[in-house]
Each structure stands twice: as C-alpha cells, then as structure tokens.
A = this chain, B = another copy of it.
Amino acid sequence: MDASSDLQNRVPRKRRKMQRVTMMDVAKLAQVSPSTVSLYLRKPGAVSPAAGQEIARAISTLGYVPNLVAGGLAAASSKVVSIIVPSIRNAFFAETVSTIQSELSAEGLQVILGHSEYGEDQEEALVRTALSWAPAAVVLTGLSHNAETRKLLQASGVPVVEMWEIGGKPIDMAVGFSHPQVGASAARHLLSKGRRSLAFLGARMQEDHRAAKRASGFAEETKRAAEPATCEIINHPGAATVEAGSLLLNRALRQIPNLDGIVCSNDLIALGALFECQRQGVAVPERVSLVGFGDLDFSASCIPSLTTIRPSGDLIGREVARLILASIHGERPEGTSLVVDTGHVLIERRSS
C-alpha cells in the first residue's frame, strides 16, 4: 500500500489508561443514560425516585467516585475555592480558613490553599495558578495587591473576596474590619486609663500592611487626645512571635522613660511583652497597661489576663463563605461591590 492510503486508514491509537469506574459504567448498570446519572448527581430531585434508587444502587455496587476534574472541565468552572493567606501558621488565618472550609464543604466546594508569606509578587503567582483551576471563587487577604493581581482577577470574572480588611476599594467583595479603627480603640482605652506615654509594638510592619495601619490609627488617635500624650511605634523586622514581644518590650523600656501604656500588634507579641515585664519587674497593669490584638487561646488565661481586641476570624470566615455561596448561586446584587464590616470588640481584662 502507498503512503497516502496509509494516512487515511490509520490504526486506532492505544488508549493510555483506563480509569476505574466511570459514569458510563454506572449508567449501564442502572439502565439509564449517562445524562441521567449526571443529573441525579447534581440535582437528585430532578430524576424519578425509581431511577434515583437504581442509580444509587449502581454507584454503591461499583464504588463509583465521580471525577471532578472532568466535571470541572465540562462545566467550565471547577468546584474549588482558592484561598490565599500570608501564612497558615498564623492562628488568625488558620481559624478563618478552617471556618470557610467547613462552610463550603457542606456545599461540595473544595478549598485550595496558598500562602504568600506577605509578598505581593508571590501572591500574584498564587493568583495565577489559582485561576488556572477555573475556581468558583478566589479569597485573598487584605486589600493591598499589586496591579497585575488586580487586573488578572478582574479579567477573570471569578468572584473575589478580600478578607481581614475593609476601608479601601475592593476588587469585588470584602469582609473584615478597619485596622486604623482597631488602633484608635486601643489608644482611647489606654488614654481613658490615664496613660500618657504610649508605645505600639509591632512586627514585620514593612510587609504586614494591616499591622502598620493599626499602628498609624493608634498614633493618630493619640495625637487627637484631649490631654497631651506621646506615642512611639516600634517595629521588629522579623515574625510576630512571643520572643519578638520580649525584644520589643525591652526596646520600648529603653526608648521611653515614662512608658505607661503599650499596644501590641498581636497577642503573641503581647504575651512576650508580658513575660518580659515579669522578668524585668515591671508591674502590669500597675506601672504599664498592656493591650493586645487577636484574643488568642491564652489571652484570657495568662497572668494577668490580657486586655485585647477581638476581630473574630470566625465571623469573617462565615461571612466570606456566605458571600461566595451567594455569588455562585447568582443571588448577588449585580454591579455593587459588597463590603461587610465585621467590626471589632475590645475585651477589657486585668492587664490594663
């Protein structure tokens, strides 16, 4: 035979890999069409009870596991929600992610996780891969992103929720609270206790813009006070840890002779500061008042118990999930950008 005929009647290619059980197999066993199986899986109410039972039986006898990848491709949108946080090690974000995850998994959505380590370029890369999953929604942390990230997301048409911060223009939706207001609340609290030489102890504020905003809100409220008061912002370039808190406290003690009020960028730092006060013989709250942020696990139990500001990562998570589900179900008021303020609560305990 000649070459041209060879081109025409080609041998069927070897199939690469037969996967276990497909929807087709289920359909055959249940004596219905694949479409009906698919329909049953997506909207069980739409098929007749008889067919439904037949299909359910077939699924269980065959041990059928639907292939979400194929489904995602066919539906042009996969059942994943991509969440990008600065760090999962951070208890705040862990709580929120955990809550979002719980709420979404009830609706059959998966969570894909990424952490940016507070880098905007790294965040952009994560957004890029997130979008290659054709996700049902993307969740970002904060409102600060580089231009490319915003462009990518806007162009994608995917619902986007920015969480843990409000007070700027969101890409799409936002759930969180105002960080400057948190700083201001802390300042007012200390001022109301008669404290006049204040310090804000923060970590990694070059990158953690939200912490920086709490600091500046704090500083501004101090300036605005009726009685004259001073305020210094002290930053630790490393991570916000208990140890950083100890270091920061010592720096504050050195820099501010009459220091009598301290706000920490989070409760871990506050705990470190508290321990260091104890070591240095600085009485809390007698000589200095201490206010944290986050209301972590230990904050109510430590000695003295820690006055802190609770932002409720849990509530944020629930609201994020709610907005995502509403968007997916098309219940969202078109055109308006949705912003939910979850607020914050100052919890007064013994340290102030």
Contacts and interface: CB of A to CB of B under 8 A. Distances in A.
Contacts of A278: 303
Interface string A154-189: 011000000000000000000000000000000000
A91 B92 CA distance: 11
Contact of A243 (B72, B112, B300): B300
A67 B134 contact: yes
28 contacts: A63-B155, A65-B128, A65-B132, A67-B73, A88-B88, A88-B94, A88-B97, A89-B95, A91-B91, A94-B94, A98-B115, A101-B113, A101-B115, A105-B129, A110-B112, A110-B114, A111-B113, A111-B114, A112-B113, A243-B300, A243-B301, A245-B301, A246-B301, A271-B301, A272-B301, A275-B298, A275-B301, A279-B303
A99 to B, nearest CB: 9
Interface residues of A, number: 60
Interface of A: 16-17, 19-20, 63, 65-70, 72-73, 76, 78, 80, 87-89, 91, 94-95, 97-98, 101-102, 105, 108, 110-115, 128-129, 131-134, 152, 155-156, 241-243, 245-246, 268, 271-272, 275, 278-279, 297-298, 300-303
Contact of A242 (B87, B246, B297): B297
Nearest to A110: B112
A71 to B, nearest CB: 8
A275 B246 contact: no
Nearest to A90: B94
Residue of A19, A94, A268 contacting most chain B CB atoms (<10 Å): A94
A241 B297 contact: yes
Contacts of A301: 242-243, 245-246, 271-272, 275
